[in-house]
């Protein structure tokens, strides 16, 4: 993520950047948090270095039907395949807390 942001900023000069999709397909929500911690740390480092990053969008907000299945699970919010009931996952609360506090936990225990 850091290399991509720096390389793009170098090519485009003063164009603001937005990370439009970042996530992992997994049923293990702790793994999702661990996965997102690295790229979000790179976004924070790029901001600290003066790169104009205006946003980060997790992929995806909701689990969804893809390729004939409700798996893989990309979403921060689980969707029941029978009822379509939505249930925020721990990762949704974690990302929300990060957005409010701007503090990126570095370990599972800190999340």
53 contacts: CB under 8 Å, gap ≥ 6: 5, 16, 17, 18, 19, 43, 46, 47
Tokens of 75: 């979403």
Greatest C-alpha distance within the chain? 48
pLDDT at 111: 43
- Averaged pLDDT, 10-37: 94
**Mean predicted lDDT score pLDDT of the chain:** 90
Q: Exposed, middle or buried: residue 6 (CB in 10 Å: 0-12, 13-18, 19+)?
A: middle
pLDDT at 109: 43
User: What is the C-alpha to C-alpha distance for residues 105 and 77, in angstroms, rounded to an integer?
Assistant: 20
User: What is the C-alpha to C-alpha distance for residues 95 and 111, in angstroms, rounded to an integer?
Assistant: 10
Can you say how many angstroms the Cα of residue 40 is from the centroid of all Cα atoms in its chain? 7
User: What is the C-alpha to C-alpha distance for residues 14 and 106, in angstroms, rounded to an integer?
Assistant: 30
Give the global pTM: 0.84
User: What is the C-alpha to C-alpha distance for residues 87 and 38, in angstroms, rounded to an integer?
Assistant: 25
pLDDT at 68: 82
């Amino acid at each position: 993520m850091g290399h991509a942001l720096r390389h793009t900023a170098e090519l485009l000069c003063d164009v603001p950047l937005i990370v439009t999709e970042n996530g992992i397909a997994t049923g293990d929500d702790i793994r999702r948090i661990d996965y997102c911690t690295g790229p979000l740390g790179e976004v924070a480092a790029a901001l600290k270095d003066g790169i104009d990053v205006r946003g980060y969008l997790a992929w995806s907000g909701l689990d969804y039907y893809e390729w004939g299945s409700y798996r893989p699970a990309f979403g921060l919010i689980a969707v029941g395949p029978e009822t379509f009931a939505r249930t925020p996952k721990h990762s949704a609360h974690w990302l929300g807390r990060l957005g409010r506090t701007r503090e990126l936990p570095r370990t599972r225990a800190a999340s």
